[in-house]
Amino acid sequence: MILIFLIVLLSIILFIMNTFIFIFLLIRKYINNILERKKESYRILILPLITRYITHDEEKLSRMLFSSTNWKRKIILNVLYDISKKVTSASENNRIQNLCHILGYTKELEKNLKHKKRWIASDALQKAGVLKLNELAPVIKNILYSNDNNLWLLSARSLTNMNESKDLIYFLIEKGHVIPSWSAIRIGEMLLRVNSHDTDTIIKYFFKASPLVQRVFIEVLGSQRTLKALPLIEHCLYAKDGELRIKALKAIGDIGITTKEYELILFLQKNHWVEQIAAIYAIKSCRIWMAIPQLKKLLSHENWWVRLRAAQALKSFGEKGKRELELVKINDLDPFARDMATKVLEND
């Protein structure tokens, strides 16, 4: 009987506890829903205020943006962060920086950038970069040379967003011999947005860089279609490094101008099919008409991609190129050449 009584009592206690827990969770959910609706209402309220200030529709900041309430300040900063992702003009960015300074957020991020906990420093790096807080660039430059790969890659991205990419060029020149190749390539992708002043820095210090970094730099110069870099790019056509030669060929193709027409045609006779394809791209882009006979020969190449790119290049030369493809289609003894000429001609 005592055992049964204890079991019943325990069951009652458990039922009461579960009931209280259920009621507690229900109340908490209700309160959280109220708070979320309150936060969303506040966000909807302050979004146009911040937007009008940043876009110069209003010259003065609303008093609502100076709330000392922590949850309101957090919403203001989140809205500001979201808006900053879409801002492109310098004047609007200056207003964002000013608002961050007034709210004390710039100082807060500066403190977090120096934090010993990596996840706090990483979050600060990301936010400083998106907000383009150039005031924090000196601190971020120091982090760039840290031993933490994750931190200095985030630093590189932040500096790129701030248009402080010259420091990345110096970093690659100095550290390119020791950093992992994938890191240099990642930074090179960031440098695809460099300005003309940074281009001058690349040209000036190019030969002090490691072979890997030189390849990165040539790709950047080509993607920017930097005409004044053409002599340097064409110089790399004679490099011992095959990958650098390929990058140079692609860069010439991106720019669309060359003074080395004969040299580009010679690349069509190389044994390396990747170099041949890069040369075809450069020849097609620069419209080197005297390469037509060599391109026609490549229609019999053993590599399918070389045949395709050669046929496409011939077709790009207009009626003359199409006539050559028609002749190959009808008369050539090589079935692969005839097939490729037919394929490309039909794809109008």
Average pLDDT over residues 327-344: 89
- State residue 8's pLDDT score: 67
- State residue 164's pLDDT score: 84
pLDDT digits (tens, 9 = 90+) for 150-176: 788 888 889 888 888 888 899 899 888
Average pLDDT over residues 19-26: 77
- State residue 199's pLDDT score: 86
Confidence category of residue 289, pLDDT binned at 50, 70, 90: very high
Neighbours of 214 (CB within 10 A): 25
- State residue 266's pLDDT score: 94
Above 70 in pLDDT, residue 102?
A: yes
CA distances from 232 to 136, 197, 239 (A): 35, 16, 11
Q: Which domains does the chain have, with CATH numbers?
A: 92-131 (no CATH), 160-259 (no CATH), 263-348 (1.25.10.10)
- State residue 274's pLDDT score: 94
Kindly provide the b/e burial profile for residues 258-275, where b requires at least 16 CB atoms within 10 angstroms of the residue's own CB.
bebeebbbebbeeeebbb
Average pLDDT over residues 126-146: 89
Average pLDDT over residues 280-298: 95
